[in-house]
A and B are shown apart, each in its own frame.
Chain A
Amino acid sequence: MNQTVAAHRETTDVERVFREVYGQAVATLVRVFGDITLAEDAVQDAFVVAIDRWRTGGIPPNPAGWIVTTARNRAIDGLRRSTRGRELHEQLAGTASTPRRAGDDWEEGEPVSDDQLRLIFTCCHPALRTEHQVALTLRLLGGLRVDEVARSFLVSESAMAKRLVRAKYKIKAANIPYRVPAEADLPGRLRAVLSVLYLIYNTGVDDPERASLRSEAIRLARALVELMPDEPEAAGLLALMLLSESRVPARREEGALVLLRDQDRTKWDRTVIEEGHAIVRACIRRDQPGPFQLQAAIQAVHCDADSFEATDWPQIVALYDHLFSIMPTPVVALNRAIAIGETEGPGAALTALDAIAPDLDNYHLMHAARGTTLRRLGQRDAAKAAFERAAHLAATEADRRFLAQQIEELTEDGALRQHRSDGLSGPPNETSAR
């Protein structure tokens, strides 16, 4: 029994290390081999070797370097053995990024962090459609398994596998380069990268099992800011992530989501907030606002308030108005509607929500926001129905638990009310709601 438990723990440790080093190892091997599939296969081979060796000999002090060195050696051995491989091997030897030339960096077996930056610009190339960009980045740099990437996209594993194959085929056939783009192309190319990184960060927010994605996204965002100090949107994204990250400790209780309204603000990480605030202030001084900087500014206002009630809501609505003017998406409209609920009351919020409801009918947060607003208006049955619809659509366990709590509370309240009188859920009345 104990042996089984110990073996299981070792397996889990090895799996965790695999995930952590996958992106670094693949990125470095793509530089060396100039071929993504070859790099992935080599890393996979090295993991097979590692499972045996590490279980008996323990995890080496530099697992990423170990994997990269093993993967490289095995890939080169494999190439030498096959005819096609020999051709490829010779071809590689004739190009700039040969194993031989790169071999100098190899003695240490040390992955280079710039490799990940190069690879992310390849993965996020605007000639690839967004879902391919995100899938590639999560798979290659985030180290998620294909089934995990599939789940985060709500598609089947086989569909996701095909998607990744298609995307890699295009990169290879079109020879999409593996490098940080030239100065002139940088702003446009950066926008794609920033969106992908934010999506990865949010995948880590939605699923505590994948919390490492958050630090991975923040790490890559920091690297981008360092590489592109003149790009305020990169800084804006980093600030947005940091300010969101600062609230993580207060965001969950016993596995259920805790709303901003109910969060214990003493649990917020002040050091991280200060860093985020400093970046937002620098962005404001630059005065080149963009979507990520505005979203960061909104988070900065939230993090500035000692309580939900003390929040500068008019400022938040103004920032959402500005954001909507440059990014008129239904999700921005949803967040703006929620903020309107705090400045103008739930009646105005409901009107705003109803206007966007058809566009976001499959989005659980829209129904959750409607539920909250309807409850404030005293429309308990409608609120319960909205929360039930949200729970049906919610993708994460934390969201479902939170929504189940809301439904349960409304059911209990409803049962109590039934005893007292009927017809309590009269017409919407803002003043009586709160």
Chain B
Amino acid sequence: MNQYLLSTYVVEGQVPGAPSTPEKMQTFMERVIALEAEMDASGTFVFGGALHGPDAATVVRAGDADVVMTDGPFVESKEHIAGFYIINADDFDAALAWARKVVDALNHPIEVRPFRATGRVKDSVRPGA
């Protein structure tokens, strides 16, 4: 068993293909709920959700005495991560099949990236078990 990060991005504050009317938002939410239920039922869903905007982010780093904080995201960019799923999949092609479903439900591009569990997550997930 492998794990993958499926992530979506906002571009300049806009989510490409985002629902534009309340009705469309309603069907969008229904699609996402159905997708997540399907992920859950098949043991695919590990974790996921949406992120608040990059304006709400804070960068924290080690300083001389105390940590130093900077207002804003780590990477100054037009694109920011908007949300993600961590999924279980047998291999890359299986992850791609889920990626297709996510793209269909969200109606915008996603990035698929292999996820390497460490520490506690690794113990609880035990890839290969």
| CB-based contact B91/A177 at 8 Å | yes
B1-30 to A contact mask, C-beta < 8 Å, 1/0: 010100000000000000000000000000
Residues of B within 8 A of A127 (CB): 92, 96, 112
A172-186 to B contact mask, C-beta < 8 Å, 1/0: 011111000110010
Residues of A within 8 A of B119 (CB): none
Complex CA gap A182/B128 in Å reads: 22
| CB-based contact B92/A175 at 8 Å | yes
**CB-nearest residue of chain B to A182:** B93
Complex CA gap A356/B95 in Å reads: 42
Q: Which of B92, B113, B116, B128 contacts A176 (CB 8 A)?
A: B92
Residues of B within 8 A of A181 (CB): 93
B80-109 to A contact mask, C-beta < 8 Å, 1/0: 000000000001110110000000000000
Residues of B within 8 A of A125 (CB): 92
Chain A: residues with Cβ within 8 Å of the partner, total of 13
How far, in Å, is B48 (CB) from chain A's closest CB? 19
How far, in Å, is B3 (CB) from chain A's closest CB? 10
Chain B: residues with Cβ within 8 Å of the partner, total of 12
List the count of A-B residue pairs having beta carbons below 8 Å apart.
Answer: 28
Residues of A within 8 A of B116 (CB): 173
Once A127-B96, A182-B93, A185-B93 are accepted as A-B contacts, the answer to whether A175 and B128 lie under 8 Å apart by CB is no
How far, in Å, is A120 (CB) from chain B's closest CB? 15
Residues of B within 8 A of A175 (CB): 2, 91-92, 114
A95-113 to B contact mask, C-beta < 8 Å, 1/0: 1000000000000000000
**CB-nearest residue of chain A to B1:** A175
Residues of A within 8 A of B93 (CB): 176-177, 181-182, 185
How far, in Å, is B110 (CB) from chain A's closest CB? 13
A181-214 to B contact mask, C-beta < 8 Å, 1/0: 1100100000000000000000000000000000
Q: Which residues of A are in contact with B by a Cβ distance under 8 Å?
A: 91, 94-95, 125, 127, 173-177, 181-182, 185
